[in-house]
Each structure stands twice: as C-alpha cells, then as structure tokens.
Amino acid sequence: MKIHVSVLVIDEDASRATLLEQALIDQGYQVLARIDSTDQLAEHVEQLKPDMIIIDLESPDRDVLENMALLNQHSPRPVVMFAEKGDQTTIEKAIRSGVSAYVVDGLEAHRIRAILDVATARFREFQTLKQELSDARSELEDRKVVEKAKGLIMKHNNCSEDHAFKAMRKMAMDQQKPMYEIARNIISVLELMS
C-alpha cells in the first residue's frame, strides 16, 4: 500500500482538513503538513519539499491563484484543488495558474488515489511539453545566431554559404565548443569591425 508520495495540504477548515488527511494516509500518502492558506506558499514548499499539493476550499480567489502561479513558475508541483464551487472561468484560471486537477463538489475518500494519479500524470505531461517548447525555442534562437554569423562571414570574406559554414564548423571542432557559441563570438568580432 505504501506509495511514498509526500503531500502538503492547504485547507482553512480544520475539521475538513482532518478528514482529507486521514483519507490520504489511508491511501498510503505521507502528509507533511497542513497550512490554512496559500500565503507564503513558495516558502512552505521550499522548506517541506512535498511531491504534491492538495488544496481544499470553497472557491479559489485571486490571491490563491496568484500564489499558485508563482509556485508554478519557481517550484512546479502537481496541484489538486478540491472546491465546492467551480464555474468555467474559475476552473480555467485555476488550470492556467498551474492546478493539475480541479475537482468540484466532493471529496470522496475512495476516489482520492485515482484523482491524484491523474493529476500527477497531467503534471508530468505538461512539464514535458513545457521543456520541449523551451528546447525548441532555444534551438531556434541558436540557429538564428548561426545563420547571422554565417551571413557576416560570407559578407566579410566574400565567400559562399558552404565555405562560411565549414569554417564555423571547423572552429567549433578545434575549440571544442558548440556552434552557437562560436557564432556569437564571430558576430561580436565582425560587428566590431564593421
């Protein structure tokens, strides 16, 4: 039954939080702490380092969503939000702020594991997509730098694109540096000379 997932519970209602904590423990989760608001959430997460965050409230307000967005930027974790109210706009704002699962009207103990598993899977998928997007943007920027350097070499040396590229590739291999780094150096030098 042990699944070794640590959880931070956020709930301002102590009796409701006690029921949630017991349901989590019964399902094999480790409850690290319960706090009653998302104020200073990033500090709590940094200190406790939970695997997952569960928030139980009536409806998330602007402050809760802002704290979630900050956490998602600096220390992303799967977040499950149980709420009593959930209009479409609120749910969309919660998801945009980093909530992995938004469950309306009902925290049923027998459903907790499935909900948390889905939230974790969605979180991991989102993190993978976010990393892929970041990598693609970085690669595109690197290509732009290489193309600019190649153009400057062609102009400065009055040579072909192929010759410029081969010269850059040789420099990269000789110096054992990535091509984009060589390209940045070339741009710096040739722009100074212009």
pLDDT tens digits for 133-183? 989 999 999 999 999 999 999 999 999 999 999 999 999 999 999 999 999
146 is written with which tokens?
A: 């290489």
pLDDT at 102 over 70: yes
> What is the rounded average pLDDT of the residues 53-59?
84
Residue 30 has a CB neighbour count (10 Å cut-off) of 14
Sheet holding 52-57, edge to edge: 30-35, 6-10, 52-57, 79-83, 101-104
Q: What percent of the chain has pLDDT over 70?
A: 97
114 is written with which tokens?
A: 């499935």
Angle made by CA atoms 140, 180, 168, in degrees to the nearest 5: 125
The CA distances from residue 180 to 139, 141, 175, 177, in Å, are 9, 9, 12, 8
pLDDT at 123 over 80: yes
Looking at every residue in the chain, the average pLDDT score rounds to: 87
pLDDT at 1 over 70: no
When the candidates are 1.10.287.130, 1.20.140.10, 1.10.10.10, 3.40.50.300, the CATH number that belongs to 134-193 is 1.10.10.10
Domains in the chain: boundaries: 6-107, 134-193
Per-residue confidence at 194, pLDDT binned at 50, 70, 90?
Answer: low
Higher pLDDT, 175 or 192: 175
pLDDT at 106 over 70: no
Higher pLDDT, 194 or 170: 170
Domain 6-107 has CATH 1.10.1060.10: no
pLDDT digits (tens, 9 = 90+) for 10-54: 988 888 888 888 888 888 899 999 998 888 888 888 899 999 999
